[in-house]
Structure formats: C-alpha cells, structure tokens
Amino acid sequence: MRWFLLLVACSLVPALAQPAKEIPVASARAAPADVCAGGTAEANLNIGGVRARLYNEGNLFWRGAGSHYEVPRGSGKNAVFSASLWIGGTVDGDLRFAGSVYGPWEFWPGPLDASGQTTAERCADLDRIWTVTTDDLDRYRQTGEATPDLAEWPIAWGAPFFVDFDGDGRQGTAEEITRSLDLGDPGYGTRVIDLAAGERPVVFGRQTAWWVMNDRGGEHRWSETEPLGVEVRVTAWTLGDPADESLYTSTFYRYDVINRSEATIEDAQLAMYVDGDLGDFNDDFVHADSTRQMLVFYNGDAEDEGPNGYGIPPALGIDLLSGGYGAMYFTGGGTGPTVDPNGSQHAYQYMRSLWRDGLPLREGGDGYNTLGPIIRWAFPGSPPEYWSEYNVDGNGIANTPADRRAVVSGTPFALGPGERQSFDVGVLFAQGIDRFDSVDRLRAVSDEAQARYEDGRLFRQVETPPPPAEAPRLIAPADGASFEESGVTFSWATVAGATGYVLELDTLASFQGPQRYPTPRTTVDVPRDSFPNNTPRPTYWRVLAENASVLSPPSDIRTLTNILVRPTLTSITVVANASGPISPHPGALASQGFPTVDLDGDGQDDNPVAGVQQTNGTQWLFATGNSGAFDGSYASFLNRTLLNRTGGVNLSTYDFEVRFTGTSFAFRRFQDEEVVEIPFEIWNIGSGTPDDASDDYRLIPAILDYTYDGTVAGNTANTDGVYGFYAADSPVSPLDDDPVTDWIYWYNPIDTSPGQDGYLAYANGGTPELSQVGEEVIGRTTFVGWNFGVAPPYPADVPEPGTVFRITTLKRFNVTGEGPAEAPAGAGLQLAVGPNPASDVVSVWYGMPSSGEIQLAVYDVLGREVAVLAAGPLAAGEHVAPLETASLSAGVYVVVLASGVERTTRTITVIR
C-alpha cells in the first residue's frame, strides 16, 4: 500500500516589513446549491516541537488568515503556509478532480454511503476533527475521566481502534490488533466506542487526530469537474518525544482514499499543492531529493531575514514515505506555462511533472523547454551542485530567490469501485549552521523517519515523559510593577529538564481562563495590545516549565499594572471649505464627543461611527472600508482603523487632518506600488496645536484601488487607477444610497520632522522605497457620500478643494477638549478620563503640582455621590485610578477632583 502526505512552509509578513503575499483569486462558475455546507472544524497538533493547525476541507495549516505551522513550537516562526490535497484521474476518458490552491475547497465533512452519496445532515454531524493523546488515555485509566474526543472516538465511521486486553492503555500485544469498520460491517454508522469494555483509539506517537471527508458534498468550483466520488479518511500525528531529537519537530499524515463510486478511476494520482514559505517567504529555493522522494524548501540566500524569518535558515522536507512519482515547482501569479495552476487541467499536468502547456520538465535552467533530458523531480541536484536552484547551468549561476510553490505527487494507479489507496507523508524540519548544512541534516532526519516507517516504529505509541521537577523562578518584572503604553518583557530562570515554558496572564488570581504564551526560551515579550487587562486593575502572571507539553507545578504569582491608553477619537469636523464649515450639520448631534447621525429622526444618535459634515452643499461621513468586521458601529470602526495599529500610542497623542488640495499622490501598496493621483493630503498636526503649523508633518497615503463595480482589489488587474467611489454601500446607513470611496491607509514616514521631507523621501525618485515608510497609524478609512444615491452621477466625486477634515484624538489631560493638551509646569489640578464614552472600566488620570489632601469622587446628574476613587494625602505628580462602570446605569456622570478650595471636573458618558 502507498501512503501520502504533504506540507508547506511559510509565514505572512506584515505590510510594513515587506509586500503582502499575493494569493491568487480562484476562478468560479455559477453552480447549484451545494448538498453540504463547507467544513468548519479545526484542531491542533501541539504536543512536541510543532504547533500545526488542521482543517477538514482538504487543506492544511491555512484557511484565509495567517499561517499555522509553528516550528519550533512557541518560537513565533512558521515554516508552512498552506497545503491542499489533490486527487485526479479519468473516468470514461473524462478528467475528474478534487482539490484547490487557496479555495474554494472541494472536500466536505463526513463519509459517503453505499451509493456514493452524502446528505447535509451527515456532513453537519461529522463536521469535526477528533484528537486524542496518550495523556488522555493515562488520565482515563487512572481516574475514569474521558475527554469528549476520547469518549466519542468515531469508530462508527472508520476511525481505528483496538481492545486493550492487558489494561495498560497501550496497543502492544499480538491480540491487540487494529480494527476499523467499513460499509457492511456490523455497527458501521451506529457504533459507539465502549471504553468500559476496553476499546481504545489507536494513537500514533503521543497525539493523533482523525477526520473523514468526501468530494461529493458540493460543486467543484475551483477545478470545474465532476466529483470522483471518493471518501478520504485522514490521520495526523506527532511523536512528541523530547528524547527523540531527530523527529521531535516533525509531524506525519496518512490519507486513506476509498472509491465509493461505481466507476473505476483510471490514471489516478494523489498529490499535495504546496505554498512552501520557510520563514520569510520572499527568499526560498526548492530541491527535490529524488533518492528519498522528498520535496525540500531551503533558503536562497545566507540569512532568512525579516521579523518572521529564522535568521540561520532551516530546511523543511515533505517526505513521501510510501514512495512518490515526482515534484514540480512553479512561480506565483501572472501568465505563462510555469505559473500557478488555474483549474484541474493545469493541476493534473503538474501532478505528472508536465508544465501547464503539456511540455515535460527537463533538466537545466528553469526546467521549461530546455535541451536537457526529461525528468520528473525538479532541481534534484544537492545544493550547491548542478542541477539545483543554486546552480542552474553547471557554472554556478543561481536563480533569484522568491516565493516558491510546488506539487509533490504519488505514483499513478487505477482505483476500482470499493478499492482504497493510502499515502503516508512526513513533514520534517532541521536547522544546522547554515542553509546547506540544514539540508544535509534534513536528509538524516528523512532516513530516520523512513527506517521507522518501514519497521513500524513510526506508528507506535510514545510514553508520556515526566514533568520538570521544579517550577520556574521568576526574574522580571518585579511584583507590583507598573507599565504604561508599552509592552512588557517577562523573564525567569532556566529549569533543568524543560523543553519549553508557558507564560500565563489572567485578570483573576485563580487563573481560570488565562492567556498562554508558550515559548522555548526563558523570556517573552508581550505587546501592549495583548494584555487581558489594560486598566489600573492588576494583571496576574506566572510561568510553568514543560517537558513536551507535560507541565511542572506553576511558579509563584506576581502582579503588574499595564495601563494602555486605547486610541479614541474625540471629534471629526470640517474646519475649512469653500463655503465655510457647518458643524454640527442639521440632523447630526454631537454627544459622546462625536458628531453623529440621527438616522431615524427620533432625536437620538443612532450611529457614532463618523461625523456627517457639509461641504458646499454635499454631506460626507468619515468611516472605515466595508468588510465583514465592520457592522456600522463605532466599536468596529475603532477596531479596524485605530486599534492594533503599530502607531496606537501616537493616536493617543496627536491630531490629524485630511486636506483636499486638488492634486496629490498615493501608492497602491497592496497591489502593484503604482502611483495614483488623489485629491487630498494627510497630515499629523501635532498634539493639541491646531493653529501652529510649525509641528505639522505630512504622512504617506496608500490606497486600495477598486474598480467602480467593486471587483476584488487584491488582484492588480482589477484596478482603475482613479481615486473615487466604487459600487458598495456603507454599513453606516440602513439604506443603499451612501457610496464608499477607495480605502485609505495612513503611514508615518521614517523622517517625521516638521514639513514634507519625510513624505518626499518616499515619493521622489521613481519607484517608492519601502525603507522610507514607518508605522501604520490609521488603517482602512474611507469617505462616504451621505444620501448620494444608488448609482452615478453623484452630487460630487470628492469634497471640493479647500475642504479640511480634522481628526482630534484623546489626550491625557484634554479628554473632553477642556484646557491645554499638555498640563504646563506649575499648573493646578489635572484631571482626565478615558475612554469616553465607556461601557467597562474607565481610567481616571489625576494629579497636582505639589503634595496635598485631595478627594476624587463621581456623581450622577442629580448630584448623588456614586463612587469615591481616592481620598487623603496625595504626592505631587500624575496618578491613575479605575472607575468600574458595570454597576452604573447608562447616562452622564461627573468626575470631581478637589483639593482645598480648588476644584476641577470632567464628564463621562456610560453606555450599554
């Protein structure tokens, strides 16, 4: 029998570090309603040296966001981006195919019945991945407690199991054979695992995941062929043995393919499409080790750079343990015979080591249409030897490192009705002293995996290792430390016998639901936006040592306070235009610090997303780009535009303006870097100094350029080069007559000195230099034409020249717009509140220039005292106190700071 598995390596890199990874837009055709909904299940292999995300739609490690093959586990480095199972063959001479590159996926949850069909109910019921560990088996033997996946192990649908006759929880004796039910067997489709009678899941290594899927649950929209009628049972596992250094950072996969149709599938092949990104995705090479039948990704230069790079380059192998036919590589987007496949015909060609146009792979150069011999394995030479990407001509000429994709395929076969074909694959990892040494070490790992595969040790259970004997000794930060608008570095002492550590943060000392940060190191940097609590309430933290996921007792508990000033806007106003500003506009109110919109005429603000402002007879809103995450609310507006931006601290300090000057320029940073003319400039105008131009500096605008019909902007071809409206109505309105402009992203230049020097350093000289771009301070903003109509012609394409939109942000001692932005030296009582409005905890900043007696209290609108936040002697300087609003009714409250005869107040609005 043959087994197959494949994997891929990659990591998405933030847009500021390098261009975003381009993912091709899949073709699609009109299709009838699917029988089944797409699979939603996911699980992790996370015992041992890898954290790998699993899905049940034919794809691994990626499903629309981020890459999830972290190795070493806890390092933050991903070696795999995306992989997708392909099955191709002919039925009566017609090509049939199941697979995809980045979706739409062509496998659905659950098995097929005797007629080769499925139902929506069966798909929904089996939309699941079951995961069991040897730790789960030990716990059940010792306590009788079973995890849901152990208690519901799906033997009714073919999941392997055995009877534990000797009661040790391990499959070892000759009579403890593996059993698996199939169509026609008693109990198929109905049996429940009987733990009390000794039935146990078959667990390979220390952790095994199992699921079943089929290709008949819906329309094949990517391949555009009829389904094959196959059922696929998948087993994924990790050995998880810390004493096993060679395979500790590897994972393994088995695909068991069953033909449930009435026709023989001729010339069938199984393969995996691989987007092989190793750390930094822009500098990879591929190598096909034909002697080991292993596809290898390694670095094309001496260092794997970037924030997601490995530094010293490792190597990743996709090892066909049961044997393979060939491996093809191809480049990314574009046109021609050597790029990504577009549909089943191209994919099937690649599976047979043919280019998209049917020409065979040949040795030499790039492998396309050369004079070399026909070959099935791309770049089989051991780098830096010929024929490798490091030496494509025998004279040391190398390819240019780049984003590499590939397919590795098994040997062709025929699959008759009811027959099955299986493939085993290992995803292997090694890191040496340089990129070539990493490839050499990977070969040794492959040889070890192959030896264990052939003698059966790869499928044996692995004993649970002992936990580290000692709890970690905490080093920093000190107990009770306080931080503000910054990340925190946690550190602790090394523990003997530990393969890694887990930092836990929680708002409760009981650690009932902590945030966990696994790491192989003795330090963790937690960004300011990642804390479970960004108020003056304490955050509790502790550390546990682990030995391959077996944990030590926890360390002592420490507390810290990390106060984050969340970016909040206090106003968006038109401060200048040809006719002069009209603020607030009739129908727009200005409560909660925002000019907002009364959509239904009841006198209440319905939508505090942005301000409706009038410019020369037209009305505009400042909002965010349409997306599934934007529902028209103020919270989702803030989340998409301000929160989680790298420039979040700046937004707590500075104000900004959009100045419509008639002609300016932006760049399509997420598309093709081309310059696009826009009618406005964007500026940082300082901190509370709107009339002082000496501290203003110009920012770098980027746009996501849509065609008018709203075509997906990620495809370079779908741009029109014109800034303006596209066919989408903003969620800020319940009607469909408020069109949205192209999206704007705001970046600081590296040089933020007053004026335009930083902007011009980016804009001048032809091709913009990304090295001149700093942090993103505001993301995905748009202008909305209020009541402009459902289609052009609109009253205006953009606000007229001379219009200036001013965005004012929260300041420490100027939250409500009262007093100076920064309290001057020698000032009296200082008081600020934020966020405002609030629904949870409010931070109240207060202070005075010299020590003295104070009282800080909160009153409702009737003058009743509802809380005392501080009372008694106070040292000079700034202090902060939390105001818990959970017990307060919605409404307006007054915060009063008093010292002697001096008194200052701020209002806070509580919302529900």
The angle at the Cα of 637, spanning 633 to 642, to the nearest 5 degrees, equals 150
| Helix, strand, coil percent values for the chain (each to nearest 5) | 10, 35, 55
Mean pLDDT score of the chain, rounded to an integer? 83
Sort strands 841-848 and 500-506 into parallel, antiparallel or unpaired: unpaired
Top pLDDT among 404 and 910 is at 404
Q: Which tokens belong to 877? A: 């300087």
Q: Using alpha carbons only, what angle is made at residue 167 by residues 161 and 173, rounded to the nearest 5 degrees?
A: 65
H, E, C per residue of 283-332: CEEEEEECCCCEEEEEECCCCECCCCCCECCCEEEEEECCCCCEEEEECC
Please state whether beta strands 596-597 and 739-741 pair in parallel, antiparallel, or not at all (unpaired). unpaired
pLDDT of 141 higher than 80? yes
**What is the model's pLDDT at position 811?**
59
Q: Rounded to whole angstroms, how far apart are CA atoms 612 and 88? A: 56
Tokens coding 784: 């909305």
pLDDT tens sequence across 455-514 = 999 999 999 899 999 999 999 999 988 776 667 899 999 999 999 999 999 988 999 889
Question: Which tens digit of pLDDT belongs to each residue from 284-322?
Answer: 999 999 999 999 999 999 999 988 899 999 999 999 999
**Structure-block tokens of residue 696:** 């203003």
Which positions ≥6 away from 200 have C-beta within 8 Å? 137, 161, 162, 163, 164, 169, 171, 193
| Alpha-carbon gap, residue 868 to 882, rounded angstroms | 11
Alpha-carbon distance of 182 to 52, in angstroms, equals 29
Residue that the structure tokens 């708002």 belong to? 507
pLDDT of residue 27: 39
Report phi then psi at 30, rounded to 5. Answer: -60, 140
| pLDDT digits 0-9 by tens, 696-744 | 999 999 888 877 665 544 444 446 778 888 777 777 766 788 888 888 9
C-alpha closest to that of 784 among 712, 705, 725, 709: 725
| pTM score, whole prediction | 0.69
Say if strands 725-729 and 739-741 run parallel, antiparallel, or are unpaired: antiparallel
Q: List pLDDT tens digits, range 780-827.
A: 888 888 788 888 888 888 888 888 888 877 655 543 333 333 333 334
Mean local confidence (pLDDT), 242-262: 95
State the Cα–Cα distance between residues 59 and 56, nearest whole angstrom.
7
**Which two structure tokens, joined as six digits, stand for 445?**
């790992």
Give the number of other CB atoms < 10 A from CB of residue 807.
Answer: 25
- Chain mean position to CA 715: 20
> Structure tokens of 634?
């103020």
Q: What angle do CA 693, 694, 695 make, to 5 degrees?
A: 90
